[in-house]
Structure formats: C-alpha cells, structure tokens
Amino acid sequence: METKMPMVLDVISENIIKHGSPLALKGSEVSSWAKELDLPAKGDVLFYTGGEYQMLPFIDSLVKTITHLDQGSKVFSMMMGARNILNKTGFSPEKMYASVLAKDKDRYNSVCFKAAKVLKELGYEFCYSGNEELYSGALLYELGYLQDMEDYVKRVVEVIKKSGAKTIVCLSPHAAEVFKFVYPKMVEGFDFEIRTYVDLVWERRDKLAKLQSAESVVIHDSCRLARELGIHQELRDILVSIGADVKEAPMNREWTSCCGGPIKILFPELSHVIGERRVTELKESGSAHILTSCPYCLSALEAGRAKGDSAVVEDLIEFLYRGVKA
Amino acid sequence: MTVDLRKDFVNYAKSLNAASEDKNIRTAISRAVTSYRNTVTETLERFPHTPALAEEVQEIKRQSMANLDNLLETAMASVERNKGKAFYAKDHQAALDIALGIIGKGKTVVKGKSMLGEELHLREYLEDNGNEVWETDLGEFILQLRKERPMHILSPSIHVPREQVAEVFTKFFGKVVPPDIAEEVKVVKEFLREKYFTADVGISGANVVAADTGAMVIIENEGNVRLATGAPPVHIVMVGVEKLVPTFQEAMKVAEVTWRYAQYGVPGYVNIVSGPSKTGDIEKVTTYGAHGPKEFYVIFVDNGRNEMAHEEKFSQALHCLRCGGCMYECPVFQVTAGHFGHTYMGGIGAIWTAFVSGGMEKAAPLVYSCLRCGRCVERCPMSINVPAMIGELRERVIYGKLEG
Ligand code: SF4
C-alpha cells in the first residue's frame, strides 16, 4: 500500500537524493566558506561539514512555505524538488532563499570557516571535498528513507574515498552518528575512523587560547552527542581549560533535554515551544550564555530565545574562534 | 491503493499545538514531572537494589515473551485449577464478546483502572449493551463524567484542576461541591461505596500474572480495586498476555520494579487474586463465594501482542511495565500530554498504537512527532529502545508497509 506523506518529507528526501543537500543548495554555495583557506582535496584527515551549518538559515523559510502548501491544496504531485515546488506555486526559490537575512546566512556559513581555523590553530592538517562534498544522508535515516539511503550512501562514500583519508572529522553529531552506526551496515568495508570536531579540540585543549576573563557559560548537550556518542565531559574539559566558568542546567549530559529541532520540519510550532522551554531550563543554571555543539541545536535554541531575551546562543565553534582571532 | 496521511498530519499538528497552549496541561505536567523525578530519586536511594532488580526483570520479561504460548497455557490451566474460568481472546472483538457473555445485560459493573480497558473501549461497549458501568479510580471517574480520554496512563485526569472537578461534580451530584480536594474525594467515596456493594460485577486489570499459580497481581493506592474486586459476586480480570511471567517469585520482582518506577514508592495496596473466594470452615466442605466473589474469570487478551512478540525488532516493547517514567521525561509529552498518543501515549505508545491499538495509520503521525531524542531510554527501567523502533516504523510508513 502506498502512502502519501506530508510534502515536506518528499521535498527533503528528494533533495538529498537528487542534489546531495536537504535544501538543494548548490555545492558552490555550501563550500564558499573555504575559498580563502586553500584546503587540499586529499589528505589523511577529511574535514566534513555535510553542508549542515550552511543550510540552517534556509530551513525555517522552507518549512514555512511548505507547511502553508500542505494545508492548502492537493494539486501538487509528490516527488518534486524544492525548486520545482516553489516554481509551480509562484514562489521563486531565489525569492525564498533571498528572503533569508544576509546576516544569518553569513553567520551560519562562517561556522565551518571558524571550525577549520580553530583546528588549524591547534596544529591539525586536513583536507576538504569542496564543491563535491555531499550531505551524509542523516535525515534519510532519521525520517525512514532507509532503502533510498542504501543507494545514496554509495555516492557519499565515493566522494569520501577520493580524498584518500582514513579519518573523518564531523562538525555535526548527526553526521558522526550515521557514519559510525549506519554506514558500516550499508557499505561493505566502511572502516573509516569517525571523529567529531569536539574530540579533536579536546585532545589539544591545552593549546587553546585562554579567555581574558572568566566568562560564565552553560552547555546545552546535544542528544546525539551526549547519548549516542557519549561525549559530554569533553565539552566541559575544553571550556574549563580555557578558563570559562561552566554552569550546569538542571537536565544535562545524558539527561539533557532535546532542543525540539528534530520535529521542526513537520511540527514547527511545537518544536518552537520545546526550544523555548529548553532555553528557559538552560538559563536556570545561572548563565545566559548558551553553548552547544550541533547545528540543529544551535538553530532550534536560537529560535527558542524569546524576542528581546538577553540570552546568547552560540556554537562551541563560534565561541572558541573568538580566542583564535584575539 | 494509496493512503493519504497528509490530512491526519495537519489535524494532529493542530491538536498538539492546541494542547501545548493549554495552561492546565502545562502546569499539571510540570508539577507532575518535578514530583516524579523527586520521588524516584528518593525511593531509589532508599531502595538501592532497584536498578539491579530492574535488570533481572528485563531478563524475566525477555524470556517470558519468547515463551509466551507456553506461559499462556500454563496460566490458563492454573486459573482453572483454582476454580476460576480462563479465556483467551484473539482480538479486540473477541475480548469484548467474552466479557459481555459473562456479564449479560442490565447489570451494574464497577471497574478498576486499566489501559487495556481503554484499548478495548470496554466501558462504552458494556454501556451500549445495556449495562451501568462505573469507573472507580478517581481520575477515571472524573474523565467518565467529563466524557474525555486519559491524558496519562497513571494519572488519567492530570490535566483537570480542582476547580474544574468541582464544576463537573456539582453538576453530576446535583449539589454544590466546593473546589476543595478533600471534599471532592469524599463525595466520590460516598457515591461509589454504594455501587461496590450493589454491583453485579467487578472488573480489573492486572500488573503481572504468575503462570505457575495463576496469581493476578494488582498494584494500587486508592483501595478502589480492593473493593471493586472484593465486594461484587463476580470478578472479571481482563489482562494483556504480555503481563505473564513464569512464577510467583518472578511476579513479585516485576511488581516491585513496577511500583518503584511508577512513583508509588511503596504502594498502599498490592492485591493478589488467584481464584474465587472460598471457605472450608464448616465440615471442611469447600464452598465458594464466602465474603468475596463466587465467580472468578480471567480473559487473556492478545489483540496484536503475540505478533509483536514474534517481531524481533519490537518484542522488547512488550516489556513495558506502564510505569509512565518515559512520558515524564519526554519533551513532547511534557507539553502535549496524552495528545501525543492514541490510547497508549508517548514514544512507547506510538509503538503500541501500531501493533495493538489503532494500527499503522493512526500510529504514523505519532511516530513522526517523536524527537528520537532518547531520554526515555535513560529513564526506562526496561531500557526499551523506543527511538530504534520509531525509526523502524518510519521506514514501514514510508515504504507503505502499513500492516504492522
Ligand atoms: S516504556 Fe519504560 S519507562 Fe515507559 S512506561 Fe514502559 S516501562 Fe515505563
């Protein structure tokens, strides 16, 4: 029996399969952050972004557009890419993408740049697949498109193999999760060492620049990082080693409260409520400077901050980069 | 054939949004969550052997589910040996038919709280067939009057504050009931007291069933189950087959873990019922129906459970003790309560919905509103991997394998 699912699922899965990005972003857009860095295409360690931070500013507007269409009518056939859908309905993708604030685009695009800079500063050498890099397919796994994923991952692996790397460093815990637990089941001989950005920084945390003054911060543990990958103490070690005053939220580490991000594409309002509640919970720690280490947490918590709220939400990458610059 | 689920998603999203704006739900659940976390921490400190016992129970459950057919046979024989009558109901309709066959028409029935009862819409069915049925659990009683469904498996009327209880009681009892909890409890006690002793039938569920002895273990705090199963001349137990374990000793272990994580700490009452009431006090002649029920029936309900037990990826869901802990830790449930559910609630409820109560079509939207954040697994005394099962169900939904 065939099922007709909410259109946003069709759009996202099709985009991944056809364009290698949940939002059909072009390779050149996704890799633009790396222009000045001249990273090699080959090396032992592959720096992997999966385009996840880069697409954050576009998610909200896509969701808004599609939720609106989903409720409106049934004239749209299934299986159309975001660009198609938007064309047919009179929205132009360029318009939708253009409606995203430039400052958001710049901010999220530069996260990858900052991550690369921090790692370089710590003495790591790595390569990057640039235009060719493909999204890991984590959302195919998340949303139930496992059969499609089996085909898709082959293409991802091809690109990864081209780099000649043995180790993959993931910025997003979601990518790390699927590389670690899902790929080995789907791809024979997928024996890459999977590391996270946090791991690498942790190993050389002594080399990080110290903070000028002891800022107080609170960590939002990402579910995937804390529960699936068991990484939570590392975040604290890193921050303590640079002299931050780490406050703890009532629910943290393996008991962390989800940011609400995972249901954003289907239940945006509810997702928002959950994000707001998590921000409130984090602030109970006594610090309103929230640090996380996952693109979706970053975006969901940022959205969950009430208008005019004094809380600051940053990715660990952004926070550490300030030390690099100084 | 194509099943279009888009409308269902839209409607479901609306109901979740409405629930998340409901102040009563918010306040009630935040209070409940805090109190749950505190009681469990405190009781685990007091009874530190509990986590190890829970691990033992996981193994008991695993073996029981692998051995379900045998256990059922043994349990039915035990019930019969105890002079009760045992039935097996393959599905929902069979369960209702058997119950109605025993009860008949024009009877008064008092009922203890049971999720299986909700699954079967038991009260409604018996009422439609000309019986008067009373929920005796206070929360369920409130919902019966409000014509609503439970919002939590253990605290069904968690979302109704005392003012609203007073309102519905005042209307029902035809006299002013103040918004005072003690007063509210009292009027119900007086009303139901009379029902227990005039009822023809008492119905209960069971938290655990020991196959070797045919012992039904029922945990409670209010004392309503004690009365509902003790006073009427007929007692019917309706229980899902997943509650079976091999021995009485094991049943006690399951019971202890259940009440500890179900926030009872130490429960007010643990009822163990294995057969009709009897006496041999006069000339050693066994006579049934001494003080308690003369007739004792057990209906073992399958309704999809056996199929689940045979699915490698889902049989673990049958280990659920219905302690409710996962729901308190679920960020979606915390703001929407039972709206994230269909009879069974939360992530584990979505799994149960797919197999037991509603089917895949009803389950699909629930399955997609799970965050797969995994905190429920941390809490669950049975370490049930709900996120993995949710992933599996999503795959089935996407590729149109809707038959569960
Ligand atoms: S799934 Fe686990 S935590 Fe949830 S009700 Fe069942 S036993 Fe309790």
Q: How many Å apart are CA A200 and CA A188, to the nearest integer? A: 27
- Please say whether the beta carbons of A300 and A264 come within 8 A: yes
State whether A223 and B5 contact (CB < 8 Å): no
Give, rounded to a whole angstrom, the gap between the first and last alpha carbons of chain B: 17
Average pLDDT on B373-377 reads 98
Residue whose CA lies nearest to ligand 1 atom number 3: B380
**Nearest alpha carbon to residue B302 among B356, B363, B342:** B356
**Alpha-carbon distances of B38 from A235, B8, B33, B261, B325, rounded to whole Å:** 27, 37, 8, 11, 12
**The model scores a pTM over 0.90:** yes
Separation of A157 CA from ligand 1 center, angstroms?
38
Q: How many beta-carbon contacts under 8 Å exist across A and B?
A: 121
pLDDT in tens, B151-203: 887 788 888 889 999 999 999 999 999 999 999 999 999 999 999 999 999 99
Q: Which residues of B touch A74 (CB under 8 A)?
A: 6
Is the pLDDT at A73 greater than 80? The verdict is no
Query: A159 — phi, psi (to 5°)?
Result: -65, -45
Separation of A211 CA from ligand 1 center, angstroms?
44
> What's the mean per-residue pLDDT of chain B?
95
Atom from ligand 1 closest to the CA of residue B324: 5
pLDDT at A76: 42
Q: Which of B44, B257, B318, B348 to mutate to test the pocket of ligand 1 (most atoms within 8 A of CB)?
A: B348
B17 touches chain A (CB under 8 A): yes
State the smallest CA–CA distance between residue A301 and chain B in angstroms: 14
B45 touches chain A (CB under 8 A): no
- Please say whether the beta carbons of B360 and B397 come within 8 A: yes
Q: Rounded to an integer, what is the distance from CA A276 to the centroid of its chain?
A: 19
A227 touches chain B (CB under 8 A): yes
The answer to whether domain A208-325 has CATH 3.40.50 is: yes
Average pLDDT on B368-378 reads 98
**Residue of B371, B383, B392 to mutate, interface with A, max A Cβ within 10 Å:** B371
pLDDT in tens, B42-55: 999 999 999 999 99
A33 touches chain B (CB under 8 A): no
B1 touches chain A (CB under 8 A): yes
Average pLDDT on B297-326 reads 97
Q: Over the Cα atoms of chain B, what is R_g?
A: 21
Domains in chain B (CATH in brackets) are 6-46+312-398 (1.10.1060), 66-303 (3.40.50.10420)
**Which residue in A has a C-alpha nearest to residue B395's C-alpha?**
A144
Query: B320 — phi, psi (to 5°)?
Result: -50, 130
State whether B375 and A74 contact (CB < 8 Å): no
3 state DSSP class of A214? coil
pLDDT in tens, B69-87: 999 999 999 999 999 999 9
Separation of A143 CA from ligand 1 center, angstroms?
24
Q: Which residue ranges have their beta carbon within 6 Å of ligand 1?
A: B 261, 320-326, 348, 379-382, 384
Q: Compare CB distances from A270 to B20, B377, B396 and report the shortest one's residue.
A: B20
Atom from ligand 1 closest to the CA of residue B153: 5
pLDDT in tens, B77-117: 999 999 999 999 999 999 999 999 999 999 999 999 999 99
pLDDT at A60: 76
Query: A59 — phi, psi (to 5°)?
Result: -60, -50
Which band of pLDDT confidence, cut at 50, 70 and 90, is reported for residue A80?
Answer: very low
Atom from ligand 1 closest to the CA of residue B322: 5
State whether B13 and A270 contact (CB < 8 Å): yes
Q: Which of B60, B326, B377 to mutate to test the pocket of ligand 1 (most atoms within 8 A of CB)?
A: B326
pLDDT at B404: 47
Is the pLDDT at A90 greater than 50? The verdict is no
**Residue of B7, B36, B368, B370 to mutate, interface with A, max A Cβ within 10 Å:** B368
Which contiguous run of DSSP H or E holds residue B111? strand B108-111
Task: Give residue A294's identity as a one-letter amino acid code.
Answer: C
Percent of chain B surpassing pLDDT 90: 91
Beta carbons within 8 Å of A279's beta carbon, 6+ residues apart: A290, A301, A304, A305, A306, A309, A311, A313
Task: Using CB atoms within 10 Å of the CB of residue A296, give its burial: 0 to 12 exposed, 13 to 18 middle, 19+ buried.
Answer: buried
> Which of the residue ranges A83-97, A153-167, A255-269, B88-102 would you say has the lowest mean pLDDT?
A83-97
State whether A267 and B395 contact (CB < 8 Å): no
Is the pLDDT at A188 greater than 50? The verdict is yes
pLDDT at A62: 76
A76 touches chain B (CB under 8 A): no
- Please say whether the beta carbons of B120 and B357 come within 8 A: no
Is the pLDDT at B328 greater than 80? The verdict is yes
B331 touches chain A (CB under 8 A): yes
Average pLDDT on A173-188 reads 97
State whether A147 and B20 contact (CB < 8 Å): no
Structure tokens at A65: 């557009």
Is the pLDDT at A67 greater than 70? The verdict is no
A3 touches chain B (CB under 8 A): yes
pLDDT in tens, A123-152: 999 999 999 999 999 999 999 999 999 999
Q: How many Å apart are CA A313 and CA A298, to the nearest integer? A: 7
B18 touches chain A (CB under 8 A): no
Which band of pLDDT confidence, cut at 50, 70 and 90, is reported for residue A43?
Answer: very high
pLDDT at B293: 97
- Please say whether the beta carbons of B234 and B297 come within 8 A: yes
Q: How many Å apart are CA B52 and CA B43, to the nearest integer? A: 14
pLDDT in tens, B228-260: 999 999 999 999 999 999 999 999 999 999 999
A5 touches chain B (CB under 8 A): yes
Average pLDDT on A155-168 reads 97
> What's the mean per-residue pLDDT of chain A?
90
Is the pLDDT at A118 greater than 50? The verdict is yes
Is the pLDDT at A59 greater than 60? The verdict is yes
pLDDT at A77: 38
Task: Give residue B227's identity as a one-letter amino acid code.
Answer: L
Q: Which residues of A touch B393 (CB under 8 A)?
A: 144
Which band of pLDDT confidence, cut at 50, 70 and 90, is reported for residue A98?
Answer: low
Separation of B324 CA from ligand 1 center, angstroms?
6
Count of C-beta atoms within a 10 Å radius of residue B367: 24
B33 touches chain A (CB under 8 A): no
Average pLDDT on A206-217 reads 92
Which band of pLDDT confidence, cut at 50, 70 and 90, is reported for residue A70?
Answer: low
Specify the domain boundaries for CATH 3.40.50 within chain A.
Answer: 208-325
pLDDT at A84: 55
Q: Compare CB distances from A255 to B364, B371, B378 and report the shortest one's residue.
A: B378
Which band of pLDDT confidence, cut at 50, 70 and 90, is reported for residue A213?
Answer: confident
Which band of pLDDT confidence, cut at 50, 70 and 90, is reported for residue B25?
Answer: confident
State whether A5 and B16 contact (CB < 8 Å): no
Q: Compare CB distances from B395 to A4, A146, A278 and report the shortest one's residue.
A: A146
Is the pLDDT at A74 greater than 80? The verdict is no
Is the pLDDT at A12 greater than 80? The verdict is yes
